[in-house]
Structure 1
Amino acid sequence: MNYAYMRISTNKQHTDRQEYILKDYFEKNNIHIDAWFVDVITGKTFDRPEFSKLKDTVKSGEDTVYFTEVDRLGRDWDGIKREYKWFEDNVVNVIILEVPTLSMSIYKEDGTVDLNIKLIKSIVLDTYCFASQNEREKLSRRTKDALQAKKEQGVKLGRPATKKAQEVIDLIVKMAKEGYSTREIQFKTGKSRQYVCKIKKQYA
């Protein structure tokens, strides 16, 4: 049997794009899908109701599961590999449309598993996971560098403070500039030493 899985991270997103890609592929290749599974949950967690239901549904040596992209399986190398390995260990064919090599079936015409195809798909997945995670880590570093640069330029980061919280911050900064000690500022504001030191470092 054939199954399709889609995942989006939040309710603000839509599955339209994934659904279009999958249906277009199924139509062009004359594939009938027996069931669709859809999760609205971040890829960082593997406690996904529909994904778990899918894994409980598939049968070893018979079924095929279709995904649009590798990251529908997870968000990091280890997570993706772990889930992919689960399907491999249970002899369930996985088709990932964004990577042509991963769209090859591991089943021969007689229904047995083609070990050469299985090996090739495993190697390609490893390479793709490396590239994907490496790109995410580079993006994360660039974001941190950009935030650090803004901080050094005096740009205030984080969520805007409420009016009352901002008044406390302004008072801490004012007292610090006037030479009051941290203990004196604590007594005046009722804030912890850690908080006062943090504000002094960030604003004073």
Structure 2
Amino acid sequence: MSKIVGYARVSTKEQSLARQIQALSEYVSEDMIIVDKASGKDFNRDGYKSLKCGIGKLIKGDTLYVTSLDRLGRNKEQLKEELRYFQSIGVKVKILDIPSTLNNVEGNEWIFDMVNNIIIEVLTSIAEDERKRIKKRQAEGIASMKIIDGKRIGKKGNAIGRPPKTFPENWVEIYNQWKNKKITATYAMEILNLKRNTFYNLVKKYENKLQ
């Protein structure tokens, strides 16, 4: 027999689930409402995970009710993948604030799939727009930073970016052995515990200092 399950979530322990539970109770038995008090930044939540594994796992023919998409999660990219997952295993996700998902489509499942696909496409567009906005803000932030001694300086006065690689203590000795062809570059990197790119970058830096 197929299951009808509700899912409610708030971000902190201090927040109340009462309003969501009341709304879901019109469609779902209260003892079948799964709850989480956890951030929606990802899907690593005990209640939500129980919908995908264990005794309460949703399977083909089951229905999941939520009051709104952001109660499932706030990460649009991950949310899109979760909706695709439920779609792929034959679980209907019904969202109370998207009335078109609540219609009885028995015999016309293609209508529900069409609505679900539209939601996924919208989420894809929103996620892409969010990524573009974040990249733009990051680029604008970096461009506005002061540059002192070739380093970008953040608002707190600290240098931004990966710290420059310093020369190992035995650099001069190993460098001279390599330069005089007493050892190979590969062996020099092994002794100095350096990756190839780092080794040759330090070689360039060191030789510039010698000039």
* TM-score (normalizing by structure 1): 0.55
Distance 1:64 1:34, change over 3 A: farther
Distance 1:60 1:131, change over 3 A: closer
Q: Which residue of the partner structure matches residue 136 of structure 1?
A: 127
Distance 1:57 1:32, change over 3 A: same
Specify the code of the residue in structure 2 equivalent to 1:37. Answer: I
Distance 1:145 1:60, change over 3 A: closer
Larger radius of gyration: 2
Aligned equivalents of 2:143, 2:59: Cα separation in 1: 57
Q: Which residue of the partner structure matches residue 44 of structure 1?
A: 42
Structure 2 counterpart SS, 1:11:
coil
Aligned equivalents of 2:58, 2:144: Cα separation in 1: 58
What residue ranges of structure 2 are gaps of 5+ in the alignment? 147-152, 168-193, 203-211
Aligned equivalents of 2:139, 2:118: Cα separation in 1: 32
Q: Which residue of the partner structure matches residue 79 of structure 1?
A: 82
- Shifted more, 128-137 versus 54-63: the winner is 54-63
Distance 1:103 1:135, change over 3 A: same
Structure 1 counterpart SS, 2:34:
strand
Structure 1 counterpart SS, 2:50:
helix
Aligned equivalents of 1:69, 1:54: Cα separation in 2: 17
Per-residue deviation, 1:50: 2.1
After superposition, the CA RMSD in angstroms is 4.2
Structure 1 counterpart SS, 2:97:
coil
1:64–1:94: 8 Å Cα contact kept in structure 2? yes
Aligned length: 156
Per-residue deviation, 1:14: 3.5
Q: Which residue of the partner structure matches residue 119 of structure 1?
A: 110
Question: What pairs with 1:102-113 in structure 2 (closer than 5 Å)?
Answer: 102-106=101-105
Per-residue deviation, 1:53: 3.0
Aligned equivalents of 2:14, 2:124: Cα separation in 1: 22
Structure 1 counterpart SS, 2:145:
coil
Aligned equivalents of 2:118, 2:112: Cα separation in 1: 10
Per-residue deviation, 1:99: 1.2
2:67–2:95: 8 Å Cα contact kept in structure 1? yes
1 or 2, which has the higher helix percentage? 1
2:6–2:66: 8 Å Cα contact kept in structure 1? yes
Percent sequence identity over aligned pairs: 20
Aligned equivalents of 1:24, 1:50: Cα separation in 2: 18
How far does the alpha carbon of each residue in 1:106-161 deviate from its partner, in whole angstroms, 9 at most, with x for none? 4xxxxxxx231x21111111111111221122122112112211211116559x58
Specify the code of the residue in structure 2 equivalent to 1:5. Answer: Y
Specify the code of the residue in structure 1 equivalent to 2:47. Answer: E
Aligned equivalents of 1:103, 1:73: Cα separation in 2: 17
Structure 2 counterpart SS, 1:37:
strand
* TM-score (normalizing by structure 2): 0.54
- Deviating above 6 A after TM superposition, structure 1's stretches of 4 or more consecutive aligned residues are 58-62
1:2–1:33: 8 Å Cα contact kept in structure 2? no
Distance 1:125 1:64, change over 3 A: closer
Q: Which residue of the partner structure matches residue 7 of structure 2?
A: 5
Q: Which residue of the partner structure matches residue 139 of structure 2?
A: 148
Structure 2 counterpart SS, 1:115:
coil
